């Protein structure tokens, strides 16, 4: 098992639900925690409980995210993140055909597109398309529209080569 003591965890989109639970698990494992959210006022209790430092950051602003990483790395008692949890989201609710396209775009931008800058673009797109297909199936079924998605296969040799290649994440 990996020793997480004194490693840094950055949680972007921190709140009172899943991200708070993750922060507690990381803190109990001895990690130093950085919590980032648009508004940090609601994070005071969790920060006190986990010993976390808080950072204000709007995850929809690429320059703010870039600053966030610099601020976390430069913060006393923190440093470069060992683990990053992207939990920022924006939800648009209602029947599919009644949704405002601008609100849908914002939901995808916050919940999926920015996630792709933190993790693998391929995996994020695959997850988003699968979720969209799953959520649209009842509506489409009622309208007699068939909906499906397929995924390309990656050979074992290609997977091994990709796994061995060093990666650098850029927010530019």
Check: CB of residue 72 under 8 Å from CB of residue 55.
yes
Q: Give the end-to-end CA distance of the chain in Å, rounded to a whole number.
A: 34
Q: Is the pLDDT of residue 118 over 60?
A: no
Q: Is the pLDDT of residue 170 over 50?
A: no
pLDDT tens figures, 24-37: 999 999 999 999 99
The average pLDDT across 130-153 equals 65
| Nearest alpha carbon to residue 57 among 70, 46, 47, 45 | 70
Domain architecture of the chain: domains with CATH: 8-164 (3.40.50.720)
- The model carries a pTM of 0.62
> Which has the higher per-residue pLDDT, 109 or 169?
109
> Which has the higher per-residue pLDDT, 82 or 51?
51
> Which position has the token pair 């061995």?
164
Rounded percentage of the chain residues whose pLDDT exceeds 90: 28
Dump strand ranges (E) for 13-104. 32-37, 53-56, 83-86
Q: Is the pLDDT of residue 136 over 90?
A: no
């Amino acid at each position: 098992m990996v020793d997480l003591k004194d490693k840094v965890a950055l949680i972007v989109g921190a709140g009172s639900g899943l991200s708070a639970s993750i922060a507690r698990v990381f803190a109990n494992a001895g990690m130093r925690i950085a919590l980032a959210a648009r508004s940090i006022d609601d994070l005071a209790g969790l920060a006190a409980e986990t010993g976390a430092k808080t950072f204000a950051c709007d995850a929809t602003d690429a320059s703010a995210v870039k600053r966030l990483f610099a601020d976390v790395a430069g913060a006393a008692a923190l440093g470069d993140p060992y683990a990053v949890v992207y939990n920022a989201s924006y939800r648009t609710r209602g029947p599919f055909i009644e949704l405002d396209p601008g609100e849908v775009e914002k939901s995808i931008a916050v919940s999926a597109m920015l996630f792709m800058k933190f993790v693998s673009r391929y995996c994020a797109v695959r997850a988003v398309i699968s979720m969209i297909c799953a959520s649209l199936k009842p509506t489409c079924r009622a309208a007699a529209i068939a909906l499906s998605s397929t995924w390309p296969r990656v050979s074992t040799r290609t997977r091994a080569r990709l796994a061995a290649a060093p990666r650098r994440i850029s927010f530019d």
